[in-house]
Structure formats: C-alpha cells, structure tokens
Structure 1
Amino acid sequence: MAEPFLIGQDMTGGYGGADILHSCTIAVEKGEIAVIVGPNGAGKSTAMKAVFGMLNLRGGHVKLDGEDITRLSPQARVRKGMGFVPQTHNIFTSMTVEENLEMGAFIRTDDCADTLAQVYDLFPILKQKRLQAAGELSGGQRQQVAVGRALMTQPKVLMLDEPTAGVSPIVMDELFDRIIEVARTGISILMVEQNARQALEIADKGYVLVQGANRFTDTGKALMADPEVRRSFLGG
C-alpha cells in the first residue's frame, strides 16, 4: 500500500523531560484536510510540532512524499514544502499586511507576484488593507495574514495550530471556508483545532488524541457519528 503524502509514524517524544507523545501517528494525503482534536493537554499541538521538526523524537519517523525528513530542521522542512502557522505571535505587527506577505516568500528566488495575487483573491480584505499595519487588524484578519504568509512559500502541506482561536463563530466559518478552498488547490492541510465539532465537519480525516496517544482515527463524518466520540469529546 502506498504511504500517505505526509506521515508522522509512531511518534514518541517531548521537550526534554517526560514524553508527551506515545507512539502517535498522524497522516494526511494530498489535497486532504486532516484535523487533530482532543481534550486540553492531549498533545495536539505537540504532535503538530513533532511533524514540523520542533521537538526531537525518541521514536518513530516523519516522511514527506516518501522522503524521510525526521532529522531535518523546521527551516529545511519549509524548503521541502511545509508551511506552519503557529497559534500566536504569527505576524509582524509593525509591518504592513503586504510586507508580512512578502516576508513569506523569503525562501523563493522567483517572482512571487502571482502568488500574492492568489492570496489576495483568497482573502480580499487583505488587499483592501495591504498598506495598513498588521497589528491594527482584527483577530480574524490577523489569522488571514498568517495563513497568507505561509501560502507565499507555495507549500505542499499547510499546518495550522488552532487557526480559529479567539475569533467569532462567523469569522471561524469564513476561515474554514478559505481552508477548504486551499485544500481544493491540492495543498494538504493538517490542523489542530479546539472547535472539534466544526473542524470535523470539514475534515476528510480526524485524529482524536488523549494523553499523547491515538484514541480514535477515522473520517471526519465517522467520528462525528461515533456515540463515544460525541459523548466524550463533542459535548453529546
């Protein structure tokens, strides 16, 4: 059987002390949306960071498009086609919207004007506010800048850590709509999300983590329909 496009297989490790992840496996196919959900402290963001190379694994491996990238730095993974949007401190507040987006193209040597135009098509409000300091934007608009900047690297995989944290339900729905649009272009989306029910509704694949280990893995629809998942993790 062919391997998934991106896979963190049997990942075990933490930040130096006790292990946070215990044989955790997360995978996403090309153009697919995979969502990691679970209770607070379940290791969701840690699993994402492990896939991106932000902690050393004591066990397991990470492969992208068949290539073992377990030992590569996060910077090297960006060059391989991984984009990562952290939950906080993900924009340069004193720089304009457009300068933030241009910073996203730092690894590119070609003309990025077409990609910038695509980002503005995806997030029209950013085009309107392109000369405004990013720090003056609303929370939802800041998240659009952060996602847009990651897209400027032309990633094969876009990784989002709590993209809807602190935004209103209307803004959350709009961000999820944009994420679906990004996936339709063939980019794989791997997302950690606190709003589990809404995230699973748009997910091709869902991972429920508990204490750093896989508890449930299935399609988003199947997890939404699972009585135990609903009762324990989705509020009934």
Structure 2
Amino acid sequence: MAEPFLIGEAMTGGYGPVDILHSCTIAVEKGEIAVIVGPNGAGKSTAMKAVFGMLNLRQGAVRLGGEDITKLSPQARVRKGMGFVPQTSNIFTSMTVEENLEMGAFIRSDDTIAQTMEQVYDLFPILREKRHQPAGQLSGGQRQQVAVGRALMTQPRVLMLDEPTAGVSPIVMDELFDRIIEIARTGISILMVEQNARQALEIADKGYVLVQGSNRFTDTGKALLADPEVRKSFLGG
C-alpha cells in the first residue's frame, strides 16, 4: 500500500527527559482532513508540534511526500510545504490584515502573491472588507481567519491547525469548519487538533483519539462517531 502523504510514524518524545508521546502515529492523505481529538493532556498539540518539528523525537520519523523530514527545522518544513497555525499568538496585532497576509508570503519569490491573496479574500470575504484595519481590532473568529489566511499565503501542501475554533461562538465554529472543508477540496491536506471533537469528526476523513500520548482509536470520522466506546468516553454519550 502507498504511504500517506504526510505521516508522523511511531513518534516517541516530549520536552526534556519526559516523553509525552509514546509510539504515536498520525497521518493524512492529500486533500483530506485528519483530526486529532482526546481528553485534556492527551498529547494532541504535542503530536502536532512533533510533526512540525517543534520538539525532538527520541524514536519515530516524519515523512512528507515520501521524503524523510525528521531532522528538518520547522522553518525548513515550511519551505517543504507545511503551514502551521498555533492556537494563540498567531497574528501580528499591530499590523493590518493585509500586512499580516503579506508576512505569510515571506518565503516566496514568485509573481503570483497577489493572486494568492485574492484567493484568501475569496475564502474569507470579511478580511477583504477589513484589510486596512489592524488585526488586533478584529473579533476572535476574524483573527483566526487572518491566521489561517497567512498560512495559506505560503502555498502549503499541508495545513496544520492547533485548536482553530478555541474561544469562538458555535456559529463562527461552523463557518470556520466550512472554510476548512473548502481548503481541503483544493488538494491541501489538513491536520487539525480540535477540542470540539464531535463537530470536528463530522468533517474528518480520518480521526485519531489520543490518550496519554498514545493512539487509542484510529478510524474514519464517521466510524469514530458511531463507535459506542468513543461516544461514551470522549463525546459525552
């Protein structure tokens, strides 16, 4: 069988001497949405950071498009086509919306940057309307749109989102999820950590339930939603 487009395979590691991940495997296919869910402290964000190169693995490997990128820095992974949106501190609050998006294109030297920005504005029309406004004046949901838009400006092959709907209203959450589906339809792989597990699994092609840094359940989003044990333990029945 062909290997997934992006895979963090049998990852063991953490911060300093303490391992948080224990032989954890996370993968996503091209143009698909993979969601990591689980209880607080399960290692969800740590798994995401490990795939992006923000902590050293003691064991395991990360491969993108068949290439071993385990030893690459996060900056080098961005150049390979990985975009990462952290949960907090993910925009430049004093810069305008447009300046934030321009910052996302810093690694590019081609002449289609304006075209990519138009695509971001088409995806998030409110950003076009507020493009000259300081990003710090926007609502929480709009800030998340800026952060995702800036990551898209790098023209990633994989977009990684750490808790994209944290602190936003249910309506805004639904809108963000709709946009995430649209992004995946363009062929970009989405790897996402999400607290709103039920809603996230509804849009997921693949779901990973982590417990104490290990894979407890791995299946399609639909299958996990239908699994009685997953529902009882992680989805509130």
TM-score normalized by structure 2?
0.99
CA distance in 2, matches of 1:129, 1:55: 36
Q: Which residue in the other structure is 2:158 paired with?
A: 157
Partner SS, residue 19 of structure 2: coil
Match of 1:229 in 2: 230
Shift of 1:144: 0.0
- Matched with 1:137 is 138
2:202 is the counterpart of 1:201: yes
C-alpha displacement of 1:216: 0.0
| Pairs within 5 Å for 1:1-236 | 1-111=1-111, 112-236=113-237
Q: Distance in 2 between matches of 1:213 and 1:21?
A: 6
Query: What is the alpha-carbon distance in structure 2 between the residues aligned to residue 80 and residue 15 of structure 1?
Result: 25
Deviation at 1:110, TM superposition (A): 1.1
What is the rounded CA distance, in whole Å, between the counterparts of 1:195 and 1:16 in structure 2? 30
Distance 2:128 2:198 in 1: 31
Q: Distance in 2 between matches of 1:67 and 1:74?
A: 15
TM-score of the superposition, structure 1-length normalised?
1.00
CA RMSD between the two structures: 0.3
Counterpart code for 2:218: T
SS across alignment from 2:146:
helix
1:133-179 per-position Cα deviation (integer Å, ceiling 9, x unaligned) = 00000000000000000000000000000000000000000000000
Other structure's SS at 1:90 match: coil
Q: How many residues align?
A: 236
Find the aligned partners of 1:225 and 1:48 in 2 and give their Cα distance.
25
Structure 1 unaligned spans of 5+: none
Task: Map Cα deviations across residues 91-147 of structure 1 (whole Å, 9 max, x no partner).
Answer: 000000000000000000012011000000000000000000000000000000000
1:39-68: CA deviation from partner (whole Å, max 9, x where unpaired): 000000000000000000000000000000
Which structure 1 residue ranges, 4+ long, deviate > 2 Å from structure 2? none
Distance in 2 (alpha carbons) for counterparts of 1:158 and 1:38: 20
The amino acid that maps onto 2:190 is: I
Query: Displacement, 1:17?
Result: 2.5
